Amino acid sequence: MTREMRQQETADDLSVRKTITVNAPQATAFRVFGEDIASWWPLDEYTIGGQPAVTAVLEPRQGGRWYEQSADGTQCDWGRVVTWEPPERLVVTWEISADWAPDSTITSEIDVRFIAEGPTTTRVELEHRNLATFGDRAETMRAIFDSDDGWTGLLARYAARAHV
């Protein structure tokens, strides 16, 4: 095995993968996750800006911004939209450091796929990958993202909001 293959294997091992089924049509599941993220993201706890956030925005297009905004209009970037393919897939970068500060050198990605399982049921598959970008704190960040306070809890909040 080459060094490059070992590095890729290690990076893949660090990925967090979550699957949840929501009681919503595929288009609704996509819309709530991407365009209505402020309705389920816990802004009272999960913000990084200098002021309390009042909304989170994921601009609905490739190249769009992902950010929080405070009451005074201040914006704090969380990442960028890499892929916007409604109602099937979106990919965003996570540009937040292990110290919970904006950092454009951190380039982990969140890949979310929406698979229709019926007219009112959608399987949502999330992968948070490229966690090696956190360097010596990658394992710690993986554990955080993989916890009840991480993607497990966030997806539960999302599923409750997406439920029709």
pLDDT digits (tens, 9 = 90+) for 103-138: 999 999 999 999 999 999 999 999 999 999 999 999
pTM of model > 0.85:
yes
72 CB-near residues (< 8 Å, 6+ apart): 51
Reading the block at residue 52, the tokens are: 């309390």
Q: Note the pLDDT of residue 12.
A: 55
pLDDT band at 46 (very low <50, low <70, confident <90, very high): confident
- Find the angle CA(161)-CA(54)-CA(71) to the nearest 5 degrees: 160
